[in-house]
Amino acid sequence: MKVGVIGTGYVGLVTGACLAKVGHQVMCMDNNVQKVEQLNQFIMPIYEPGLEEIVRSTVNEGYLQFTSQMGEVVRQSDVIFITVGTPSRPDGSPDLSAVRAVARSIGQHLDGRYRVIVNKSTVPVGSGNWVRMLVEDGARLATQATVAVSESSVIAVLNLAPEPNFSIVSNPEFLREGSAIYDTFNPDRIVIGSEDEHAVEVMRELYAFWIAPQQSDKIPVPMVVTDLASAEMIKYAANAFLATKISFINEVSNICERVGADVERVAQAIGLDKRIGHQFLRAGAGWGGSCFPKDVSALVSTGQEYGYDCSLLKATLSVNENQRRVVIEKLQRELRILKGRTIAIWGLAFKPHTDDIRSAPALEVANQLLNLGCRVVAHDPIVTAAQANVQVPDLQVVDDPMEAVNGADALVLMTEWPQYAELSLEAVAQRMRQPILLDGRNCLDPLKARNAGLSYTGIGR
């Protein structure tokens, strides 16, 4: 099947590469010409384990192409994915300008042949309807020409092309950054929202590798077929639930500290309950990234738009914001005065195995410490100084985690990169001015840290 993917950000690039890997002819489009040129040279705009290898192999085999020309993608594709960003506005509502522009542009290049237009961008409930209208609007603009008739000065409008022939589908993504390739090939479910049965059948064919695998040892992936609005809500509801689960255990961790309990043992025990499970039940310095903050805020905004106060989701956001303050308060208790102190931070990405620093707790903590008069020296295995300094200009980022702790008054671990657990804690303690360790992810062994000469403080323990 011939597939077009509009937008080569995180979702678009992973989606396009993986569809090409299973044998579809995929053309990914981005209006950033430099980005397209880099992709054609196998320079990835994001860090995602395994992505470059798939892009390289599928391009070399002729299954994947990159272009900056919208018309080329629309003309050649049977299925067109919209995978552009929907960042949060200051009021929490999503900025849908990119989706609107793409929908209208697709319409301008339709030629009467049937297409399925798939919205994979995370958009509010009801967006499928206005995406349809914008595609129709774009097609209408492209298929009309105004001609002046000189004798009577009459303006005649001539229809130059057939009516647009397309269906709209909602197909939300559930990828975890750092595990996106695995998640694409091993999804828990595939959600399809459409009122058009023919479009659903096209999507079944597109996802045949997953829902009707040829390998006898591969279990078919459930495909949930529903209406547009429900499919759009499913994505928001899933992310809001997971964010709430993390905020819940963080709330419990704050109570644990006050009563002398250990949140790690509490989480381990309650996670054995099959109704709860262990996933997303780790206390820490809070969640971030490109999805949870944006999607929870967007769902709150949708509730307000329809006259409903999302009190639980507001609390989810509030608890998460408070976790950053918990880190600062712990440092203040340990050091009393923060002004003039040197604080080392290990980990800047919002989670391990990605270079995404959007809404990263580490950068928010670093910014607060700088505002309090601290010198902050950070390390991350993937995030570069150039990336971090866009958000926090005065942050010093070094290439060696041991260099970051030289002369530090405290070390704050903010991202649970596995390589940090392999470093010598004895060497860390010896390099620091004051051997204070604040484990913001509870990923180091407290006993080992203390035996190494560090004053260990975790979250909720």
Spatial CA neighbour of 119 closest among 108, 130, 110, 109: 130
Residue 291 annotated among the catalytic residues of the structure: yes
Q: Is the pLDDT of residue 156 over 60?
A: no
Mean per-residue pLDDT, 358-365: 97
Q: Is the pLDDT of residue 291 over 80?
A: yes
Spatial CA neighbour of 345 closest among 370, 366, 322, 368: 366
CA 181 vs CA 19, 51, 268: distances in Å: 11, 7, 28
For residues 135 and 115, the answer to whether their CB atoms sit within 8 Å is: no
Spatial CA neighbour of 331 closest among 359, 282, 286, 366: 366
- pLDDT, tens digit (0-9, with 9 covering 90-100), for 310-339: 999 999 999 999 999 999 999 999 999 999
Per-residue pLDDT, 162: 64
What is the pLDDT of the chain when averaged over all its residues? Answer: 94
Spatial CA neighbour of 382 closest among 404, 347, 355: 355
Q: Is the pLDDT of residue 161 over 60?
A: no
Q: What pLDDT band is residue 52 in, cutting at 50, 70 and 90? A: very high
CATH 3.10.20.600 fits 238-457, yes or no: no
Q: What pLDDT band is residue 146 in, cutting at 50, 70 and 90? A: very low
- 2-226 and 238-457: identical CATH topology: yes
Whole-angstrom Cα distance, residue 69 to residue 228? 28
Q: Is the pLDDT of residue 152 over 80?
A: no
Q: Is the pLDDT of residue 148 over 50?
A: no
Q: Is the pLDDT of residue 149 over 60?
A: no
Domain ranges across the chain: 2-226, 238-457
- pLDDT, tens digit (0-9, with 9 covering 90-100), for 181-201: 999 999 999 999 999 999 999
Q: What pLDDT band is residue 202 in, cutting at 50, 70 and 90? A: very high
Whole-angstrom Cα distance, residue 202 to residue 207? 9
- Long-range contacts at 140-143 (CB < 8 A, ≥ 24 apart): 140/107, 141/104, 141/107, 141/108, 142/107, 142/108, 142/109, 142/110
Q: Pick 322 or 159 by higher pLDDT.
A: 322
Q: Is the pLDDT of residue 438 over 50?
A: yes
Q: What pLDDT band is residue 160 in, cutting at 50, 70 and 90? A: low
Domain 2-226: CATH class, spelled out: alpha beta
Q: Is the pLDDT of residue 159 over 60?
A: no
- pLDDT, tens digit (0-9, with 9 covering 90-100), for 242-289: 999 999 999 999 999 999 999 999 999 999 999 999 999 999 999 999
Whole-angstrom Cα distance, residue 377 to residue 398? 7
Q: Is the pLDDT of residue 306 over 80?
A: yes
- pLDDT, tens digit (0-9, with 9 covering 90-100), for 106-120: 999 999 999 999 999
Per-residue pLDDT, 32: 96
The one catalytic residue among 291, 310, 374, 443: 291
